[in-house]
Structure 1
Amino acid sequence: MRDDTFGPDPAPGTITIPLADDERRREDALRDLFARFWGNATGEPRAVYDTFIAGSPRADGVAFDPVDEAGIRGWWVRPADAAPGQAILFLHGGGYVQGTAAAYRGFVSQIASRAGVAALAIDYPLAPEATLPAAPEAALAAWDWLIGQGYDRIAVVGDSAGGGLSLVTLASLALRASGPAPVAGVVFSPWTDLTLSGPSMNDPSVQDPLIGRAYLQDCARKYAGARDVRHPLASPLLGDLRGLPPLLIQVGTDERLIDDATRYARRAEQAGVAVWLEVWEGLHHVFQLDVAHLDSSRRALDRAAAFLRRASAS
C-alpha cells in the first residue's frame, strides 16, 4: 500500500519522524547484519560495495534495460505503469569512488515503481581515475540525453554522494536560460559539504554504523583532484541555491551526514527554495535501501514517491 501521508499539499518545512520500539529492534538487528557483512567482506572494494547495495530487492512489474548510447551508460528502470513524458534521473552514491547503476537497480526500482515513473540510473566517472568536473558533466549530459529522448518532466534523485551530485546538477540547471526545468529533487542523506565542517562529522555521540570521517575525507580528496573541496561543484552547500525546484531531503539522526542535510535545507530555505526536510529518528545512512527489513524504509520511499507524483502533476 502506498503511503501518501506526504500530501496532498503539505507546507515546506522540517518534520521529525519518531522510531517505534518494534522498529528500533529491527534497526538494531540490521546493524548487527551490517557489522557481520563488513567484518567478513573480502575482495575488491568496489565489488564488495556493489554486493552490499544490490541487497535492495527489485520491485515487481519493473523492466530493466541497459543503456549505452551517445556516451550515456547505465540502466533504464521502467515500471509497467510509467507515465509518458516523465522520468527520474538517478545518481548513485558510493563516495564518488564506487557504486554502479547495475548494483542500484533494485533500489531504483523501489522508487520508480512507487512513483509510477521510469528512471534512468547512470554510471558516471569515478574517482580517483576521474576527478572534478567529470561526474557533474556526465550528469548534465544524461539530462540532455533524456530531453532529447522526449522527456520534459524530469526529477533528479540521488543518495549520499549521489545526493550531493543531484544538488550540484540542479544548481547547474537553474543557471540555464532555456529548456525544460527539473520538476523536483529528492535526496537521501546527501553529502553536501566536502570540507567536512558539519558538527556531526566530529560528534562522538553520533553512532553511524556505515561511514566514518576518515573514509569521507579520503573520498573527498580523491574526487576533488586539483579542485578546492570548497568549490560548489564539490560542495553544493557552498554554492548558489537560488532557483532550485522543490526539494525533499530525508536523513537519519544516526549518521555523520545529518548536518550536511540540515544545513543544506536551511540554506535552501533562505534562498527561497521550497524544501521539505524529514529527519528520521534512530536510523542510519540511506536507510531507504533496506526495504526488505524496515517499515521505515518503505514508508520513506512511499513519501518520496508521493512527493515526486505531486511535483510532476503540478
Structure 2
Amino acid sequence: MLDVLKTNHTQTKIEVIKISAEERTREDALRQRFAEFWASATTDLRTTYDAFISASPLVDHVTLEAVDEDGVKGWWVRPQQANSSRAILYIHGGGYVLGSAQAYRGFVSQIVARTQVPAFILEYPLAPEASLPTAPNTVLAAWQWLVDKGFEQIAIVGDSAGGGLSLATLTQLSNGTLDVKPVAGVVFSPWVDMTFSGASMTDAAVVDPLIGYDYLKDCAQKYLGPFSASDPLASPLLGDLHKLPPLLIQVGTDERLLDDSRQFADRAGQAGAPVQLEVWEGMHHVFQLDVAHIESARSALDRAAQFLLAAFNRR
C-alpha cells in the first residue's frame, strides 16, 4: 500500500510516497540480489551493466526493430496498435560511460505497454571515447529524425545520466524555434548537476546501494572533456528552464542523486515550468527497472504512463 503526502510550491507539485513494511522487506531482498550480482561479475563493466539492465522483463505483444539510418542508431519498441503521430524518445542511463539501447528494450517495453505509444531507444556515443557535446548533438539529431518521420507529438523519457541528457535536450528544444516541441518529459533519478552541489552526494546518512560519489566524479571527468561542469549541457540544473514542457521526476530517498531531483524541480518550478516531483521512500536508484520484484516499480511506471498519456491528450 502506498501513502502519498502532497505539497505544492510555485509550479512544483511534490509527492512523498511511503511504502509498506512488506515492500520494505522486498526492497531489502532486492538489495541483497544487487550485492550478489555485482560481487559475482566476471565480465567487463559495460557487459555486466547491460546484463544488469537486461533483467527488466520484456512484455508480450510488442515488436522490436533495430535502426541504423541517417546517422541515427537504436531500437524501436512498438505496441501492436498505436497512434501514428505519437512517439517517445528514450535516452538510457549508465553515467554516460555505460549502457546500450539493446539492454534497455525490456524496461522500455514496460512503458510502451502502459502507454501504447511506440518508443525509440537512442544509441548515443559513450565516454570517454566521446565527450561533450557529442551525446547532446546525437539526441538532437534523433529528435529531428523522428520529426522527419512524421511524428507530431513526441515526449522524452530517460533515466539517471539519460535523465540529465533528457532534461538538457528538453531545455534546448523548448528554447529553440523548431516547429515540433516536446509535449512532456519524464525522468527517473536524473543526474542534472556535475558541479555536485547537492548535499545527498556526500551525506553519510544516504545509503545508496548502487552508485557512489567517487564513481559519479569519475564519470563526469570522462564525459566533460573541455567543457565546464557548470555548462547547461553538462548540468541542465543551471540552464534556462522557464519554457520547459510538463515534467515528471521520480526519485528514491536512498540515492546520491536525490538532491539533483529536488533542486531541479525547485528551480524549474521557480522558473514557471510545470513540474511534478515524486520522492519514493526507501527506494534505490532507478528502482523502476525492478518491475519483477517490487510493487513500487510497477506503481511508479503506472503513474509515469498516466502522466505521459495526459500530456499527449492535452495536445
TM range (shorter): over 0.9
Q: Per-residue displacement from partner, 1:259-292 (whole Å, max 9, x unpaired)?
A: 0000000000001000000000000000000000
What corresponds to 1:264 in structure 2?
A: 264
Q: Which residue does 2:46 correspond to in 1?
A: 46
Structure 2 Cα separation of the partners of residues 270 and 42 of structure 1: 47
Distance in 2, Cα, partners of 1:20 & 1:195: 35
Give the distance between the partners of 1:293 and 1:77, measured in 2 at CA. 23
Trace 1:90-169 onto structure 2 (pairs within 5 A). Answer: 90-169=90-169
Give 1:219 shift.
0.1
Q: Is residue 38 of structure 2 the alignment partner of residue 35 of structure 1?
A: no
**Which residue identity is paired with 1:209?**
P
Q: How does 1:1-314 map to 2 (within 5 A)?
A: 12-314=12-314
CA drift at 1:242:
1.4
Q: CA deviation at 1:83?
A: 2.0
Number of residue equivalences: 306
Report the CA distance between 1:196 and its aligned residue: 1.3
Q: Secondary structure at the match of 1:111?
A: helix
TM-score w.r.t. length of structure 2? 0.96
Q: Comparing 267-276 with 74-83, which one deviates more in the overlay? A: 74-83
Q: Which amino acid aligns with 2:196?
A: L
In structure 2, do the counterparts of structure 1 residues 115 and 12 end up closer, same or farther at CA, with 3 Å as the change threshold?
farther
Distance 1:122 1:190 in 2: 17
The alpha-carbon deviation at position 12 of structure 1 amounts to 5.0
AA in 2 matched with 1:141: A
| Match of residue 7 from structure 2 | none
Deviates more, 1:78-87 or 1:160-169: 78-87
Residue 8 of structure 2: aligned partner: none
Aligned to 1:58, what secondary structure does the other structure show? Answer: coil
CA distance in 1 between counterparts of 2:112 and 2:12 reads 23
Is 2:12–2:266's contact at 8 Å kept on the other side of the alignment?
A: no
CA distance in 1, matches of 2:230, 2:17: 32
Alpha-carbon distance in structure 2 between the residues aligned to 1:133 and 1:242:
23
User: What is the identity, as a one-letter code, of the residue corresponding to 1:283?
Assistant: M
- TM (norm. structure 1) is 0.96
**1: CA distance between counterparts of 2:82 and 2:301?**
17
CA distance in structure 1 between the aligned counterparts of 2:226 and 2:242, rounded to whole angstroms: 27
Instruction: Tell me the amino acid that sits aligned with residue 313 of structure 1.
Output: N
What CA distance in whole angstroms lies between the structure 2 residues aligned with 1:178 and 1:89?
Answer: 16
* In structure 2, distance between residues paired with 1:12 and 1:218: 32
For the residue of structure 2 that corresponds to 1:104, the secondary structure is helix
**Quick one: which amino acid aligns to residue 20 of structure 1?**
S
**Per-residue deviation at 1:178?**
3.0
Larger mean CA deviation between 74-83 and 84-93 belongs to: 74-83
- Counterpart CA distance in 1 for 2:44 and 2:254 is 28
CA distance in 1 between counterparts of 2:82 and 2:194 reads 36
**TM-fit CA distance, 1:60:** 1.3
Q: Which 4+ stretches in 1 moved above 2 angstroms?
A: none
Deviates more, 1:78-87 or 1:218-227: 78-87
Amino acid in the other structure paired with 1:142? A
Gaps of 5+ in 1: 6-10
Shift of 1:44: 1.1
String of CA shifts for 1:231-263, please: whole Å, max 9, x gaps.
Answer: 100000011111000000000000000000000
Query: In 1, are the aligned partners of 2:140 and 2:169 still within 8 Å (CA)?
Result: yes
- 2:103 is paired with a residue whose SS is coil
Partners of 1:160 and 1:76 lie apart in 2 by 21
For structure 2, the 5+ residue unaligned runs are 5-10
Identity %: 60
Q: Secondary structure at the match of 1:194?
A: coil
Counterpart contact for 2:75–2:102, Cα < 8 Å: yes
